[in-house]
């Protein structure tokens, strides 16, 4: 992404290409201090380890972005697997039970965030988990838990839409050499849009009584909302396709277009991230003001100007930490113990929390829904009937 050149040990000379160019002659020039040799981060040569497994584990431990990409890939593969199983389930249903039966994967509930929030509220009101989209309730709790403890890490480490969004802006950077940075006067109102969308959903859903929630969650539409979602994308209208294309083009030219401006999930996690006990922290005394952290930040946060990143846009992606050339200067830190949180610990706790909560749902028997094969076949037969509209 950037080309950074460091020459000699004194003085530090560097150059950043693509996003910005800083040279000592540029005005205003950053007042870059020297890096004391013992504080300069050493480049690790991972190829020096001949054993491929050891090399992989070593890289997971030391290379923040390699670890994050690995987790992203794992979650994308998980979503592809869920999508494939759901496709086979749809094939069975649309054939009227003629083709081989494949169980509906409960993980598909993760793509129904509104039903999941309604299910959570219904659980809080009634003390029982709904039996139509129970997995969604637990996936929602896991994501909220991750937001509370690890900032918006779900967006940059696990969310498949976040991963797609990141791939698209990287593609834009490859094609055009850079992405467009929205000016601040426009960025703030655009970023507020996602909070308005979130507020609308929260206001609507929290205004429902337990009885209304139950009526909706067990309605014919809710029973087939996943099937309807699949059919919506399988037979996409011109209007929906146009909107999708606008979002894709927006994401190619502006970093995280959907996540930054429109995603209500991102808004929820951004709001929760204020309570997170971990923050990116800068050590002012060793910082050399090189601004590499700010250049690396996909959320356009002025990392080099703050002691702690409190921004609701910080996705805990660690790009800034990796870009910092000085040891012990920019780190993810616990605001409780004031100690560094190693990347591998951060990732393990986050994934552990997700697995623990979804695993608990499985142990409680609140993972699979209770819609039988026979009932599904009846729904498939009449899927276009008005009672399945909402």
CB of 287 to ligand SF4, least distance (A): 3
Cβ atoms of residues 296 and 2 within 8 Å: yes
Out of 132, 135, 143, 303, point to the residue binding ligand SF4 (CB under 6 A).
303
Q: Which positions from 169 through 228 interact with ligand SF4, judged by CB under 6 A? A: none
CB of 148 to ligand SF4, least distance (A): 17
* Closest listed residue to residue 194, CA positions, set 258, 242, 237, 123: 258
CB of 290 to ligand SF4, least distance (A): 4
Q: Rounded to 5 degrees, what are φ and ψ at 122? A: -60, -40
341 binds ligand SF4 (CB under 6 A): no
316 binds ligand SF4 (CB under 6 A): yes
152: CB partners within 8 A, 6+ apart: 266, 269, 270, 273, 312, 313, 314, 315, 316
267 binds ligand SF4 (CB under 6 A): no
Out of 301, 347, 357, 366, point to the residue binding ligand SF4 (CB under 6 A).
301
d(CA 250, CA 254): 6
Please provide the DSSP assignment of 41-91 as one string.
PPPP-GGG---HHHHHHHHHHH-HHHHHHHHHHHHHHHHHHHHHHHHHHHH
Helix (H), strand (E), coil (C) string for 257-297: HHHHHCCHHHHHHHHHHHHCCEEEEECCCCCCCCCHHHHHC
CB of 329 to ligand SF4, least distance (A): 5
CB of 46 to ligand SF4, least distance (A): 22
d(CA 268, CA 273): 9
Out of 281, 330, 350, 361, point to the residue binding ligand SF4 (CB under 6 A).
330
Out of 108, 132, 149, 324, point to the residue binding ligand SF4 (CB under 6 A).
324
How are the residues of the chain apportioned to helix, strand and coil, as percentages rounded to the nearest 5?
60, 5, 35
CB of 151 to ligand SF4, least distance (A): 8
252 binds ligand SF4 (CB under 6 A): no
159 binds ligand SF4 (CB under 6 A): no
Would you say the C-alpha torsion 184, 185, 186, 191 has a positive or negative sign? positive
Out of 67, 149, 263, 314, point to the residue binding ligand SF4 (CB under 6 A).
314
315 binds ligand SF4 (CB under 6 A): yes
Which positions lie near ligand SF4, rule CB under 6 A? 280, 282, 287-293, 296-297, 299, 301, 303-304, 309, 314-320, 323-324, 326, 329-330
């Amino acid at each position: 992404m950037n080309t950074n050149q460091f020459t000699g040990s004194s003085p530090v000379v560097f150059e950043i290409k693509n996003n910005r160019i800083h040279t000592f002659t540029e005005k205003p020039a950053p007042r870059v201090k020297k890096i004391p040799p013992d504080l300069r981060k050493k480049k690790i040569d991972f190829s020096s380890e001949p054993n491929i497994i050891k090399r992989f584990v070593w890289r997971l431990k030391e290379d923040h972005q390699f670890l994050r990409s690995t987790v992203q890939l794992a979650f994308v593969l998980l979503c592809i697997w869920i999508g494939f199983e759901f496709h086979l389930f749809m094939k069975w249903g649309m054939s009227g039970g003629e083709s081989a039966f494949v169980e509906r994967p409960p993980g598909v509930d993760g793509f129904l965030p509104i039903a999941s929030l309604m299910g959570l509220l219904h659980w809080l009101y009634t003390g029982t988990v709904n039996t139509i989209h129970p997995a969604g309730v637990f996936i929602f709790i896991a994501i909220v838990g991750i937001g509370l403890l690890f900032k918006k890490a779900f967006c940059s480490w696990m969310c498949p839409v976040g991963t797609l969004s990141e791939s698209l802006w990287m593609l834009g950077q490859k094609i055009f050499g850079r992405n467009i940075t929205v000016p601040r006067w426009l960025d703030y109102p655009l970023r507020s849009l996602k909070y308005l969308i979130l507020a609308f959903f929260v206001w609507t859903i929290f205004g429902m009584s337990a009885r209304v929630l139950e009526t909706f969650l067990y309605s014919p539409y809710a029973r087939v909302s996943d099937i309807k979602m699949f059919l919506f994308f399988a037979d996409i209208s011109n209007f929906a396709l146009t909107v999708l294309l606008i979002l894709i083009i927006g994401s190619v030219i502006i970093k995280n277009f959907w996540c930054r401006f429109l995603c209500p999930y991102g808004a929820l996690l951004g709001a929760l991230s204020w309570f997170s006990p971990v923050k990116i922290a800068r050590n002012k005394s060793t910082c050399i003001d090189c601004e590499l952290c700010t250049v690396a930040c996909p959320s356009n946060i002025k990392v080099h100007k703050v002691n702690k990143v409190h921004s609701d846009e910080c996705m805990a992606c660690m790009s800034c930490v990796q870009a910092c050339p000085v040891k012990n200067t920019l780190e993810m830190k616990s605001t409780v113990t004031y100690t560094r949180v190693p990347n591998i610990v951060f990732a393990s706790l986050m994934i552990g929390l997700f697995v623990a909560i979804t695993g608990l749902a499985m142990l409680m028997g609140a993972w699979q829904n209770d819609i039988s094969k026979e009932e599904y076949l009846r729904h498939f037969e009449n899927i276009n009937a008005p009672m399945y509209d909402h």
